[in-house]
Amino acid sequence: MNTLFPLIVAALAVVAPGAYAAPAANAKPAADPLFDTVSALDAAVFDAFNTCDKPGQLQKHADYFDEGVEFYHDNGGVTWSRKDMLANTEKYVCGHFRRELIAGSLKVFPIKDFGAIAQGSHRFCQFDSGRCDGIADFVIVWRLKDGVWQITRVLSYGHRPNT
């Protein structure tokens, strides 16, 4: 069977060129500008989130969200506006904990003529103890409008202890 594998791959390449490409050893993945953009946006929005108890940072965080953002949280419920979401952030987050993206978990998918979907996992670390005791999954919908990226939807779910 092992001797047939190269023949099957070769046949598939003829039937569906470009459908399969074996990666070269130690090859770096091609640059992905959308991934790079959304990754940088994720870092920036959560840098402001993580420091939202400092002057100006909560507003900086707010600027990444559309006024009509919908935020779905499996434990906290739904908020239907940036104003309500930020009130919760100020009350429950600022000065209490920070968010850390789980390395290698971020995936980015384009949305034709709209923007992108970011998907991944993150953990939450308490400022007072330094413990990172919570983890969750997320989906963030980013819209690109007039050259500005903003978040229109957030799903934060699967909250569980960080084991």
User: What is the gyration radius of the CA atoms in the chain, in angstroms?
Assistant: 20
Note the pLDDT of residue 163: 83
Q: What's the predicted TM-score (pTM) here?
A: 0.81
Q: Where are the alpha helices (DSSP H) in the chain?
A: 5-15, 33-50, 57-62, 82-92
Largest CA distance in the chain: 66
- pLDDT tens, position by position, 54-104: 999 999 999 999 999 999 999 999 999 999 999 999 999 999 999 999 999
Show the domains of the chain with their CATH numbers: 33-161 (3.10.450.50)
- Mean pLDDT over residues 108-129, rounded? 97
Does the structure show a pLDDT above 50 at 18? no
**Which 8-state DSSP code applies to residue 24?**
P
Cβ(154)–Cβ(70) below 8 Å: yes
Exposed/middle/buried for residue 152 (C-beta within 10 Å: 0-12, 13-18, 19+): middle
Residue 126 makes CB contacts below 8 A (sequence gap 6+) with 96, 97, 132, 133
